[in-house]
Amino acid sequence: MKIFIDTANIDEIKEAIKIGIIDGVTTNPTLISKEERPAEDLLKEICSLVSGPVSAEVIGLDCQTMVKEAKILSKIAKNIVIKIPLVKEGLKAVKILSSEGIKTNVTLCFSPNQALLAAKVGADYISPFIGRLDDIGQEGMELVRQIKTIYSNYGFKTQIIVASVRNPLHVLEAARIGADIATVPFAVIEQLLKHPLTDIGIQRFLEDWKKVPKR
Ligand code: E4P
């Protein structure tokens, strides 16, 4: 499973790259707003750090505006992927953009039928929002399972990005289901690394090492 980092924070991206586990980045308007910098400058810097896909979201709500914004965003760098919300106008925009070779990530997906439609119009990626479904008492991961089944039934090439990841169990389940990608906040990446027994083990080894006679 590929791991994308779900952030627009440069320090987090740099640190995750150093760890060596990052295959791409996803941003959204909320994440970009936290950085208090012009979006275009920020996205340009992110794209210069990461060779994999970097998702950047459109703000427009009608097809024409979305396509216009997508074309501007896609000029920032070769690895920009255009995030488009899963609404009727969004699907129209994805159809146009995919016919022009501009990569799309259809976002804010909350049902398997929405995911089916996104694949039919040629989305490169679909982003089911797991944590937000859990928040309202629906099992988010069940959506990923259903999308996986539908896409494999018909051989759709659209890749599933498990999004709105809130904890390590979401990542574990995504990998067990066989999702293509999980996009993970930096704090959860750190949680994935950690195990108390690893820390206790290191501490014990260091203490025992002190008992080894020195020359
Ligand atoms: C994914 O592409 C979104 O940017 C993100 O995962 C949303 O996560 P949230 O529901 O925690 O805001």
The CATH number linked to 101 is: 3.20.20.70
Residue nearest atom 8 in ligand 1 by C-alpha distance: 164
- Please write the tens of the pLDDT for every residue from 178-193: 999 999 999 999 999 9
Residue 214 within any structural domain of the chain: no
Of 86, 164, 166, the residue with max ligand 1 atoms within 8 A of its CB, to mutate for a pocket test, comes to 164
- Please write the tens of the pLDDT for every residue from 131-170: 999 999 999 999 999 999 999 999 999 999 999 999 999 9
Q: What is the 3-state secondary structure (H, E, C) of 48-109?
A: HHCCCCEEEECCCCCHHHHHHHHHHHHCCCCCEEEEEECCHHHHHHHHHHHHCCCCEEEEEE
Ligand 1 atom closest to Cα of residue 28 = 4
Total domains, the chain: 1
Q: Centre a 10 Å sphere on the Cβ of residue 10 and count the other Cβ atoms it contains.
A: 14
Residue 169 within any structural domain of the chain: yes
- Measured in angstroms, how far is the CA atom of residue 24 from the centroid of ligand 1? 14
- Please write the tens of the pLDDT for every residue from 27-67: 999 999 999 999 999 999 999 999 999 999 999 999 999 99
Residue nearest atom 6 in ligand 1 by C-alpha distance: 164
Residue 215 within any structural domain of the chain: no
Rg of the chain in Å (alpha carbons): 20
Is residue 18 annotated as a catalytic residue, yes or no?
no
Residue 133 within any structural domain of the chain: yes
Cα→Cα distances 169→2, 23, 95, 182, 188, Å: 16, 20, 34, 12, 10
Mean pLDDT of 91-105: 98
Domain of residue 154, residue span: 2-209
Residue 118 within any structural domain of the chain: yes
Q: Confidence band (pLDDT; 50, 70, 90) for 80?
A: very high
Taking all residues of the chain, what is their mean pLDDT, rounded to a whole number?
98
Tell which residue, 152, 158, 28, has the closest CA to residue 85: 28
Q: Say what the pLDDT of residue 215 is.
A: 87
Residue 125 within any structural domain of the chain: yes
Catalytic residue among 83, 120, 210, 211: 83
Residue 10 within any structural domain of the chain: yes
Decide if 128 contacts 140 (C-beta within 8 A). yes
Distance, CA of 56 to CA of 77 (rounded, Å): 11
